[in-house]
């Protein structure tokens, strides 16, 4: 696909994608918090509050524990880098990404795993029991989401005939060569949605607003961070959430995305994208208010359901043919 | 309704069957009994809608009656009875399971695959519209049977039995466009009576053992 | 080819003999043994490259006086690949060993150790070069024997002796099965030379071929460490000195993979039914999953690494099994992909496993203990070891941009492309195998996060760890070389693929090098560029660029205030190492979730204060995992064999007259039969 575009155009598109990721992600986090606040019958902070939080955190002086090593201060950069790189592989407002050749969904999943690995190490680095606890719990949750994600990916890849994200989105948007039976796609969508909730640390898997020892997973790993390191990690987690929402929106319902490079198509693509992720953010906020966080050992039940859903999607693809 | 070509009709019937199977798995994954009852009601509703669609597409009016009966008996009456039982006995969830949820989900997945493999030879001979639903019907029957074996509370076992009956109805609709009306009426009344009897016997279990755990029945021989 | 080979053999032979000539001068013995090994391995690397670049195999033979035995060697693509792998890891190990064996000066004979080391490397080289069945068996047996002697280096410890004995018994059981396989092949061809095995005069009937398949799988599988024949690995690999463990785990078990490829693709000509590949795939998936699950529960760092070898052999067999299945359905492009994936993982695993064992050896050298629960905080005291171990850990966890990621990605692709197959069963089973591989991969990530995190981070948990020092420079160089190779193999797969394709072409006959690389080689595009593509260097570049972006954002938003240092908050108390998470605690959720496989038993004893039962004076926590294979497979088998032996003991009554009677009766019967 890179042959269809010139190098400057490709670089411009990639940069634009990175800017959208960086700029929109705090707003999505703010939107979810606002939705939760309104459900709880209070005003809540503004949607743009996370931007102010980030700005504040960048300026603050970071405090680093004497027990830690260089892993601790390097991890925020590595997590940020791997999350943004994974985000560059997912089509956002253009269906034909210049970086399509660089990686497919498997590369996407493992890039995010790179961030998880270093975050687990950082949790252990400070030597506090909270960090170790968070790392241990994150390890088991990550272990159970991977098989479900891979099976769901396979089901999607079968219906679209490719594992490259741009190719899937482009083909689905143009409805070319797609098997039109909706059942496999729906099963895969349900599975990917549950996996997205688990990976981004949302209720019912993990509560992003808690700092109680009993309940935190992601928050426990970043507990010792402050200042610019915490800012990078918060931003990275917001970008991860946005990337998963983008994945769900654009792989399963990509209509509206720009399939050509005219300015009109690009602006429509961007507008439709913002509407879609805002809608998904609203949905997640609602789900967070409807359900309680599950006990750690009940999360296995939920992720088992996700795996079975993905497996069913695969079975339905092979069996249900007209 | 010219857009409702047989091709699209098949896809909608397939979709309905897939939703049925999905609710089966949701029941297997659930621990709270009232949620199980709600999911069962939802499953029966999907079943009725799918049956009605099949009736519409194939022009067999007696399936409409069966679908209506399904709605009345399995979506309204039986869930009410069961909810009453649950409230009276104050039993809300399945605490101890012989086979834990992920393992039972995996076994049910394997049962679905077995059902698909078994019905592979039959499928080319089936009627065009609902041949894929036959595999799903068999899968639902097997899953219902397995759930009956692996759960302990009488209410869950009853729901599993009713789930098997749902699967049988789907299978009959898929294979032969419904059974003769007399047979279906008979089956429905049997099911209704079974549910009522089970409600009574759950009460008796509670009175005898102060619990609705059917494994306690083995104490009767002492 | 003759001259380099001769020089290599001379080099190793000198390495075997010369160190023994300088008794009581350990430094000279060390330098001579490992220097000669290094030179010989460099020759091996050169010869391997020559063999991979040569279009035709090179062969040479010397007959001997014994019938059926000729000292025939053959350097074809497959042999060259494995020779290259052996020599590369051997070179790194030789450099590493120069520093490592200094620990044993005066305690054991360094000359003997160095001599056995060279003999071990020589025997492995001969195994992959042998072109005659008998020669192969001799080389194989020598390899097993020399590795046994190396395993029991520290024979004063009883657990080392036990491990060595266990290893010896298991490997000889395997050798017995291998001998049976070769005898079957001999039946069909009438000669023991591999050329005859390739074109048998009387091809074997189908049931004989099946038997040969099973015998070869069991025989070579014992050496490779497939489940359930893996039980010797976690004993033998930790007991051996670390550079030997690296060679055993990284290279010796791969010779079994070489042999399996040789037997299935070369001797059987690639004509086998689909279920052979399916069995290999299944064994691979089960080995991978069980290997990593048992690895998670280990606290001896070297046992953990040994179990990971079982896991990685499983992944290699997944790729090879998929290749076999595709080949039996005549989907040769996909078969080549599966084989390339398996071979790539073979060399990747050799490199990063050796690196990790070197790291474990360095930790053992510095702290004199193998128990992870006594490490901690070592990254600050041993930064070089820690950095190299981190690279090894990231590689084995299959994270981009390292080599482990590329090979696991290729295995995934070959499993995903199963949708092109005609068989419905395969279309279900291969994605399920992919799901098991995904679970394995993420559990391996967890395991190495634990291994690195507990060993190198936070506070030291024992006085050993508090006083650890960085290791001598040869050990650092050995680790550094392998780390560089890991990164290189990960960032430049396009340079490696053509060689692997040459090997798979020699086995299957279909080259897919042009289909594997897209965009002038910048991207890997297995078979179909529309289906999937991966560009490792671009991903690496993107990661670096986004780190720079992060730094730029930090500067841009004013985040330049210097760090302030303070102690970790420990609820008001002074932070001690007792407050950190331990390795046991880290894997507790996994133990609970997968308790069906582990069947753990937990014992907790508490001693309370006399005054009040609310305060505990001392607690003792023990937890055991049921060794499933020992209890359900080996113990009944051993009981059966012992019972049989007991019953046969009646024959040996101890009476001289009875023995004379046996001889007499046998003689009479034979004389009568001869009539």
- Classify the phi-psi angles of C300: left when phi > 0, otherwise alpha if psi is within -120 to 50, otherwise beta: beta
Decide if pLDDT at A322 tops 70. no
Mean pLDDT confidence for C286-313? 94
Under a CB-based contact definition with an 8 Å cutoff, are residues B144 and B170 in contact?
Answer: no
| pLDDT tens, residue by residue, C128-157 | 998 888 889 999 999 999 999 999 998 888
Q: How many domains does chain C have?
A: 3
Which of A305, A310, A313, A314 best tests the B interface by mutation, with the highest count of B CBs <10 A? Answer: A305
Interchain contact, A301 vs B29, CB within 8 Å? yes
| Closest alpha carbon within chain A to B120 | A319
Decide if pLDDT at A5 tops 70. no
Range(s) of the domain holding residue B12: 6-215
Percent of chain C at pLDDT exceeding 70 = 98
* Domain match, C429 and C545 both: yes
| Tokens linked to C269 | 């000509």
Residue scoring higher pLDDT (A161 or A268): A268
| Tokens linked to B200 | 């009574």
C4 located within any domain: no
Mean pLDDT confidence for A252-270? 84
| Closest alpha carbon within chain A to C517 | A101
Interchain contact, B117 vs C596, CB within 8 Å? no
- Which of C552, C578, C604 marks a domain boundary? C552
CA-CA distance, C94 to C474, in Å (whole number)? 9
Residue scoring higher pLDDT (A213 or A50): A50
Under a CB-based contact definition with an 8 Å cutoff, are residues C329 and C421 in contact?
Answer: yes
From chain C, pick out residues whose CB is under 8 angstroms from the CB of B120.
424
Mean pLDDT confidence for C572-588? 87
Decide if pLDDT at B90 tops 80. no
Mean pLDDT confidence for B120-130? 65
B100 located within any domain: yes
Give the number of beta-carbon pairs within 8 Å between A and C.
269
From chain B, pick out residues whose CB is under 8 angstroms from the CB of C596.
103
Interchain contact, C424 vs B103, CB within 8 Å? no
Distance from the C581 Cα atom to the nearest Cα atom in chain A, whole angstroms: 5
pLDDT at position C85 is: 94
Interchain contact, B113 vs C596, CB within 8 Å? no
User: Average model confidence (pLDDT) for chain C?
Assistant: 89
- pLDDT band at residue C42, thresholds of 50, 70 and 90? very high
pLDDT at position B1 is: 56
- pLDDT band at residue A1, thresholds of 50, 70 and 90? very low
| Closest alpha carbon within chain A to B103 | A304
CA-CA distance, B212 to C36, in Å (whole number)? 78
Range(s) of the domain holding residue C468: 273-552
Which of B15, B18, B109, B143 best tests the A interface by mutation, with the highest count of A CBs <10 A? Answer: B18
DSSP C18: G
What's the half-sphere exposure (Cβ side, CA atoms, 13 Å) at A94?
25
Decide if pLDDT at B143 tops 70. yes
From chain B, pick out residues whose CB is under 8 angstroms from the CB of C428.
113
Rounded to a whole number of angstroms, the CA Rg of chain B reads 18
| pLDDT tens, residue by residue, B26-42 | 999 888 888 899 999 99
Q: Give the lowest-confidence range in A255-264, C283-292, C472-481.
A: A255-264
* Domain match, C404 and C513 both: yes
| Closest alpha carbon within chain B to A315 | B113
| Tokens linked to C318 | 């997944």
| Closest alpha carbon within chain C to B102 | C593
Its pTM stands at: 0.91
Contacts of B61 (CB under 8 A, 6+ apart): B55
Under a CB-based contact definition with an 8 Å cutoff, are residues A175 and B6 in contact?
Answer: no
Distance from the A67 Cα atom to the nearest Cα atom in chain B, whole angstroms: 40
C526 located within any domain: yes
Percent of chain B at pLDDT exceeding 90 = 12
Interchain contact, A186 vs B132, CB within 8 Å? no
Helix (H, G, I), strand (E, B) or coil at B216: helix
Decide if pLDDT at B97 tops 80. no
Q: Give the lowest-confidence range in A35-44, B69-78, B211-220, C373-382.
A: B211-220
Percent of chain C at pLDDT exceeding 90 = 48
Decide if pLDDT at B94 tops 80. no
Under a CB-based contact definition with an 8 Å cutoff, are residues C516 and C531 in contact?
Answer: no
Helix (H, G, I), strand (E, B) or coil at A127: coil
* Domain match, C288 and C344 both: yes
Q: How many domains does chain B have?
A: 1
Which of A55, A57, A146 best tests the C interface by mutation, with the highest count of C CBs <10 A? Answer: A146
Query: Which of the given ranges, A22-31, A211-220, A288-297, C19-28, has the highest pLDDT on average?
Result: A22-31
Contacts of A68 (CB under 8 A, 6+ apart): A125, A126, A127, A224, C457
* Domain match, C384 and C494 both: yes
C476 located within any domain: yes
Q: For strand C564-566 and strand A63-65, is the pairing parallel, antiparallel, or unpaired?
A: parallel
Does the beta carbon of B103 lie under 8 angstroms from any beta carbon of chain C? yes
| Tokens linked to B42 | 């939802």
Interchain contact, C589 vs A55, CB within 8 Å? no
C414 located within any domain: yes
From chain C, pick out residues whose CB is under 8 angstroms from the CB of B103.
596
B220 located within any domain: no
Under a CB-based contact definition with an 8 Å cutoff, are residues A288 and A32 in contact?
Answer: yes
Give the number of beta-carbon pairs within 8 Å between B and C.
4
B115 located within any domain: yes
Which chains have at least 3 CB atom pairs separated by less than 8 Å from chain A?
A: B, C
pLDDT at position C545 is: 94
Mean pLDDT confidence for C13-27? 84
DSSP A296: G
| pLDDT tens, residue by residue, C407-462 | 999 999 989 888 888 887 888 888 889 999 999 999 999 999 999 999 999 889 88
Residue scoring higher pLDDT (C550 or C267): C550
pLDDT at position A181 is: 67
User: Average model confidence (pLDDT) for chain A?
Assistant: 88
pLDDT at position A36 is: 93
Mean pLDDT confidence for B176-185? 73
What's the half-sphere exposure (Cβ side, CA atoms, 13 Å) at B131?
16
Distances (CA, A) of A56 to A49, A52, B203: 11, 6, 63
**A4-8, long-range: CB within 8 Å, 24+ apart, which pairs?**
A4/A96, A5/A96, A5/A98, A5/A261
Q: DSSP assignment of C211-244, as one string?
A: HHHHHHHHHHHHHHT-TTS-TTHHHHHHHS-HHH
pLDDT at position A185 is: 83
B89 located within any domain: yes
From chain A, pick out residues whose CB is under 8 angstroms from the CB of C533.
100-104, 164
Distances (CA, A) of A215 to A209, A235, A299, C446, C590: 10, 22, 12, 20, 17
Distance from the C596 Cα atom to the nearest Cα atom in chain B, whole angstroms: 9
| pLDDT tens, residue by residue, A83-128 | 999 999 999 888 888 888 888 889 999 999 999 999 999 999 988 8
């Amino acid at each position: 696909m890179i042959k269809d575009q010139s190098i400057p155009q490709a670089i411009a598109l990639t940069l634009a994608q990175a800017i959208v990721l960086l700029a929109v992600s705090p707003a999505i986090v703010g939107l979810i918090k606002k939705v939760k606040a309104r459900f709880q019958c209070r005003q809540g902070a503004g949607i743009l509050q996370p931007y102010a939080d980030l700005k504040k955190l960048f300026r603050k002086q970071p405090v680093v524990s004497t027990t830690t090593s260089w892993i601790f201060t390097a991890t925020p950069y590595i997590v940020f880098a791997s999350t943004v790189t994974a985000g560059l592989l997912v089509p956002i407002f253009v269906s034909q990404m210049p970086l399509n050749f660089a990686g497919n969904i498997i590369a996407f999943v493992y890039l995010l795993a790179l961030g998880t690995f270093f975050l687990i190490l950082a949790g252990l680095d400070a030597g506090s029991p909270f960090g170790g606890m968070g790392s241990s719990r994150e390890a088991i949750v990550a272990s159970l989401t991977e098989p479900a994600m891979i099976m769901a990916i396979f089901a999607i890849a079968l219906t679209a005939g490719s594992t490259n994200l741009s190719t899937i989105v482009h083909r689905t948007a143009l409805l070319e060569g797609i098997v039109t039976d909706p059942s496999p796609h729906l099963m895969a969508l349900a599975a990917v949605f549950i996996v997205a909730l688990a990976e981004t640390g949302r209720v019912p898997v993990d509560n992003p607003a808690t700092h109680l020892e009993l309940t935190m997973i992601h928050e426990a790993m970043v507990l010792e961070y402050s200042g610019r390191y915490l800012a990078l990690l918060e931003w990275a987690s917001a970008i991860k959430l946005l990337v998963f929402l983008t994945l769900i929106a654009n792989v399963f319902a990509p209509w509206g995305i720009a399939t050509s490079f005219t300015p009109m198509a690009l602006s429509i693509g961007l507008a439709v994208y913002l509407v879609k992720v805002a809608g998904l953010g609203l949905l997640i906020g609602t789900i967070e208010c409807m359900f309680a966080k599950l006990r750690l050992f009940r999360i296995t039940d939920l992720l088992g359901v996700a795996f079975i859903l993905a497996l069913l999607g695969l079975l339905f693809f092979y069996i249900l043919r007209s | 309704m010219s857009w409702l070509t047989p091709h699209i009709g098949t896809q909608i019937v397939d979709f309905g069957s897939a939703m049925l199977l999905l609710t089966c798995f949701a029941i297997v994954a659930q621990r709270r009994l009232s949620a199980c009852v709600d999911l069962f009601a939802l499953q029966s509703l999907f079943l009725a809608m799918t049956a009605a669609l099949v009736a519409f597409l194939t022009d067999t009016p007696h399936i409409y009656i069966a679908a209506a009966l399904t709605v009345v008996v399995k979506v309204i009456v039986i869930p009410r009875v069961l909810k009453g039982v649950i409230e009276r006995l104050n039993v809300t969830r399945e605490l101890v399971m012989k086979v834990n949820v992920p393992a039972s989900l995996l076994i049910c997945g394997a049962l679905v695959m077995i059902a698909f493999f078994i019905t592979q030879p039959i499928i080319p001979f089936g009627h065009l519209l609902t041949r894929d639903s036959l595999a799903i019907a068999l899968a639902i029957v097997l899953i219902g049977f397995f759930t009956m074996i692996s759960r302990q509370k009488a209410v869950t076992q009853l729901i599993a039995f009713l789930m098997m009956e749902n699967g049988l109805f789907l299978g009959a609709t898929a294979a032969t466009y419904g059974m003769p009306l007399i047979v279906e009426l008979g089956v429905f009344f049997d099911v209704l009576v079974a549910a009522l009897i089970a409600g009574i016997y759950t009460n008796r279990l509670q009175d005898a053992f102060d619990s609705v755990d059917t494994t306690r029945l083995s104490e009767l021989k002492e | 080819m003759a001259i380099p080979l001769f020089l290599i053999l001379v080099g190793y032979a000198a390495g075997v003999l010369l160190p023994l000539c300088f008794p009581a001068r350990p430094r000279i013995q060390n330098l001579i043994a490992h220097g000669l090994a290094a030179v010989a391995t460099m020759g091996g690397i050169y010869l391997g490259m020559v063999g991979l670049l040569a279009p035709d195999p090179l062969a040479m033979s010397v007959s001997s006086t014994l019938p059926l035995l000729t000292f025939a060697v053959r350097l074809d693509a497959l042999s060259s690949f494995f020779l290259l792998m052996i020599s590369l890891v051997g070179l790194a190990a030789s450099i590493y060993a120069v520093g490592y064996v200094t620990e044993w000066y005066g305690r054991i004979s360094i000359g003997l150790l160095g001599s056995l080391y060279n003999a071990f490397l020589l025997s492995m080289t001969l195994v992959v070069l042998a072109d005659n069945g008998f020669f192969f068996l001799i080389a194989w047996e020598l390899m097993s024997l020399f590795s046994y002697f190396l395993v029991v280096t520290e024979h004063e410890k009883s657990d080392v002796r036990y491990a060595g004995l266990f290893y010896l018994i298991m490997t000889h059981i395997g050798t017995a099965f291998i001998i049976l396989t070769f005898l079957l092949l001999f039946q069909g061809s009438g000669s023991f030379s591999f050329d005859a095995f390739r074109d048998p005069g009387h091809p074997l009937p189908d049931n004989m071929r099946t038997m040969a398949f099973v015998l070869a799988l069991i025989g070579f599988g014992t050496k490779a460490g497939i489940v359930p024949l893996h039980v010797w690995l976690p004993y033998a690999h930790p007991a051996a000195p670390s550079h030997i463990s690296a060679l055993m785990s990284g290279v010796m078990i791969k010779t079994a993979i070489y042999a399996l490829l040789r037997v299935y693709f070369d001797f059987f000509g690639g004509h086998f039914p689909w279920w052979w590949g399916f069995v290999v795939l299944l064994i691979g998936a089960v080995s991978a999953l069980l290997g990593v699950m048992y690895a998670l529960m280990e606290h001896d760092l070297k046992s953990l690494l040994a179990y990971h070898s079982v896991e990685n052999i499983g992944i290699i067999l997944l790729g090879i099994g998929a290749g076999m299945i595709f080949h039996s359905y005549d989907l040769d492009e996909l078969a080549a992909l599966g084989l390339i994936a398996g071979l790539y993982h073979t060399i990747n695993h050799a490199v990063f496993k050796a690196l990790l064992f070197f790291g474990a050896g360095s930790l053992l050298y510095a702290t004199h203990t193998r128990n992870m629960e006594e490490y901690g905080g070592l990254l600050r005291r041993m930064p070089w070891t820690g950095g190299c171990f981190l690279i090894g850990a990231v590689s084995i966890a299959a994270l981009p941009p390292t080599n482990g990621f590329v090979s696991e990605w290729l295995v995934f692709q070959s499993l995903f492309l199963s949708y092109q197959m005609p068989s419905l069963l395969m279309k279900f089973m291969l994605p399920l195998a992919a799901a098991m591989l995904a679970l394995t991969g993420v559990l391996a990530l967890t395991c190495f996060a634990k291994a690195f995190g507990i060993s190198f981070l936070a506070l030291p948990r024992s006085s050993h760890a508090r006083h650890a020092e960085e290791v001598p420079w040869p050990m650092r160089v050995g680790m550094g070389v392998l780390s560089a190779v890991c990164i290189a193999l990960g960032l430049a797969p396009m340079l490696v693929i053509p060689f692997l394709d040459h090997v798979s072409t020699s086995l299957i006959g279909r080259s897919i090098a042009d289909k594997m690389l897209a965009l002038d080689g910048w991207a890997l595009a297995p078979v179909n560029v529309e289906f999937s593509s991966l560009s490792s260097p671009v991903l690496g570049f993107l990661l670096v660029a986004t780190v720079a972006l992060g730094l730029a954002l930090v500067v841009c938003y004013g985040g330049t205030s210097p760090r302030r240092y303070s102690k970790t908050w420990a609820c008001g108390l002074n932070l001690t190492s007792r407050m950190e998470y331990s390795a046991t605690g880290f894997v507790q959720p996994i133990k609970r979730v997968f308790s069906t496989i582990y069947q753990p038993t937990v014992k907790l004893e508490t001693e309370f204060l006399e005054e009040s039962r609310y305060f505990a004076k001392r607690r003792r926590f023990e937890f055991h995992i049921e060794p499933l294979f020992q209890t359900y497979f080996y113990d009944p088998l051993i009981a059966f064999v012992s019972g049989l032996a007991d019953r046969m003991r009646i024959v040996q009554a101890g009476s001289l007259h009875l023995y004379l009677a046996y001889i007499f009766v046998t003689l009479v019967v034979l004389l009568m039969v001869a009539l």
